[in-house]
């Protein structure tokens, strides 16, 4: 007999006169839950990671770099943490479209840059300003985050279904026990007031 700390394992599949159909159903729900967790969570996570990465990389489609100059001094960084990874601020820049006409707009530039400093902006085919597309490493990170979130969501759904099934079986067993006790009392001649 498989015992661990006073608990008998796999008792729901053994012959036992006290075993109910709901005990077997609960065991099979547990098996189905484990199989779903092992198969669907990784599959959904990997699939959504790929979708997220491709979506992030598709943002770069149709965009090209262009040289631009700051029209005004860029403000100091809003963060008190100097040298942080993202010390870029919005500032007015001027660039030339592929047709040769000058344009101005607001873009992210290094904080503290002086007017006239050169920077790089991203333009679409019509010459409109766009945010910088993610790098391949950023796209992988975004895909991994999306995959992890999707996998966690599937996990919550599967475990929620398992928990819901167990609660319903417990309610059903409680009703069966009440009925059995009432029947037992009726045979013994007890009456409830």
- For residue 81, tell me if it sits in a domain: yes
Give 42-72 pLDDT, tens digit per residue: 999 999 999 999 998 888 888 888 888 888 8
Give 71-82 pLDDT, tens digit per residue: 888 777 665 655
Helices (H), the chain: 21-58, 136-188
Per-residue pLDDT at 147 exceeds 50: yes
- The pLDDT assigned to 191 comes to 59
Give 110-119 pLDDT, tens digit per residue: 887 888 888 8
Q: Are residues 53 and 144 in the same domain?
A: yes
Q: Which is it for the CA torsion 41, 46, 51, 53, positive or negative?
A: positive
Q: Are residues 51 and 97 in the same domain?
A: no
Q: Do residues 77 and 84 touch, judged by C-beta distance below 8 A?
A: yes
- The pLDDT assigned to 1 comes to 46
Q: Are residues 30 and 73 in the same domain?
A: no
In the chain, the number of structural domains is 2
Q: Are residues 85 and 114 in the same domain?
A: yes
Spatial separation of the C-alpha atoms in residues 87 and 70, rounded to whole Å: 16
Q: Are residues 51 and 109 in the same domain?
A: no
Range of the domain at 147: 18-57+140-184
Q: Are residues 69 and 32 in the same domain?
A: no
Spatial separation of the C-alpha atoms in residues 25 and 31, rounded to whole Å: 10
Counting residues of the chain whose pLDDT is more than 90, the rounded percentage is 32
**pTM beyond 0.75:** no
Q: What is the CATH number of the domain that holds 126?
A: 2.40.50
Q: Are residues 34 and 71 in the same domain?
A: no
Q: Are residues 93 and 68 in the same domain?
A: yes
Spatial separation of the C-alpha atoms in residues 153 and 169, rounded to whole Å: 24
Q: Are residues 160 and 99 in the same domain?
A: no
Give 11-52 pLDDT, tens digit per residue: 556 677 777 788 888 888 999 999 999 999 999 999 999 999
- For residue 2, tell me if it sits in a domain: no
Spatial separation of the C-alpha atoms in residues 180 and 170, rounded to whole Å: 15
Spatial separation of the C-alpha atoms in residues 107 and 74, rounded to whole Å: 10
């Amino acid at each position: 007999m498989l015992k661990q700390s006073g608990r008998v394992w796999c008792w729901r599949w053994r012959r036992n006169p006290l075993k109910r159909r709901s005990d077997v159903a609960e065991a099979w729900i547990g098996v189905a839950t484990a199989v779903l967790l092992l198969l669907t969570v990784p599959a959904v996570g990997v699939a959504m990671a790929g979708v997220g990465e491709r979506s992030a990389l598709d943002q770069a489609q149709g965009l090209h770099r262009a040289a631009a100059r700051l029209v005004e001094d860029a403000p100091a960084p809003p963060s008190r943490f100097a040298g942080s990874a993202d010390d870029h601020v919005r500032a007015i820049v001027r660039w030339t479209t592929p047709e040769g006409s000058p344009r101005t707009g607001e873009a992210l530039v290094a904080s503290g840059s002086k007017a006239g400093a050169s920077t790089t902006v991203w333009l679409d085919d019509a010459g409109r300003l766009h945010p910088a597309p993610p790098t391949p490493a950023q796209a992988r990170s975004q895909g991994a985050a999306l995959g992890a979130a999707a996998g966690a969501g599937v996990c919550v759904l599967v475990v929620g279904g398992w928990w819901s099934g167990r609660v319903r079986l417990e309610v059903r067993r409680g009703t069966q026990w009440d009925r059995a006790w009432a029947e037992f009392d009726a045979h013994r001649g007890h009456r409830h007031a």
